[in-house]
Amino acid sequence: MKITSKKTSVTLSLMGIILLVGFDQLCKYLAVLHLQDAEDVTLIKGVLTLHYLENFGAAFGSFQGATIGFLILTVAFLGLLSYIVWKIPMERKYLALRLVTMVFAAGAIGNFVDRLAHRYVIDFIYFCLIDFPVFNVADIYVTCSCIVFIFLFLFYYKDQDFDFLKKQREDKVK
């Protein structure tokens, strides 16, 4: 059963991405405004702290100093993701997959904007209970969307549900 036109779906996805990236950037702006060169803010003692950090690496501080590489990799990955989203059939069963890709894209774009604007990513959330690396809202988008995608892939979708990715290629070969 089709849920809406492809054009409407893409438009709604872009609007969702813009809203999510906007929220991420607002949070980072507030972090710079209130946390840069300031004391940490404890939200839950021994559990959650706001701590300003300029991350010149990738997720959770890994691969420090590879900004140009991350920019190129992000553009390539977003291009691939756009292709996949375009290929997803307009059926209700793929709505979750569309939402997951939208949230993932928003996270990638949120950190991409930081790298373009500052050459680093602004991180400010520190889960000190387990001494987890400092992260940001865009990181939450990427991490949660990956977890949901894995869950969908393992428990919701079947292998043949992804045949849409190879269908056109087979048509061209014939």
Residue 123 appears among annotated catalytic residues: yes
Q: How far apart are CA 117 and CA 95, in angstroms?
A: 33
Name residue 92's amino acid.
R
Phi/psi of residue 110, nearest 5 degrees: -55, -45
Beta bridge partners of 48: 44, 127
Phi/psi of residue 70, nearest 5 degrees: -65, -35
What is the distance between the terminal CA atoms of the chain, rounded to a whole angstrom? 28
Q: Are 119 and 30 in contact (CB under 8 A)?
A: no
Residue 114 appears among annotated catalytic residues: no
Phi/psi of residue 121, nearest 5 degrees: -105, 135
Task: Say which of 24, 123, 163, 171 is annotated catalytic.
Answer: 123
Task: Say which of 37, 40, 139, 159 is annotated catalytic.
Answer: 139
Query: DSSP label at 162?
Result: G
What are the residue numbers of the active site?
123, 139
